[in-house]
Amino acid sequence: YNTIYEQKKVPRHHNKRPNLRSQKLENVSVVLDFLENTERIRLVTI
| Structural domain boundaries in the chain | 17-46
The C-alpha atoms of residue 25 and residue 17 are separated, in whole angstroms, by 12
Q: Where are the alpha helices (DSSP H) in the chain?
A: 21-37
**Euclidean distance between CA atoms 26 and 29, whole angstroms:** 5
Q: What is the pLDDT of residues 1-46, one digit of tens each?
A: 455 666 777 777 888 899 999 999 998 998 888 888 888 888 888 6
Output the pLDDT for position 1: 46
**For position 5, what pLDDT does the model report?**
64
pTM for the predicted model, two decimal places: 0.69
C-beta separation of 35 from 41 below 8 A: yes
Return the pLDDT at 39: 80
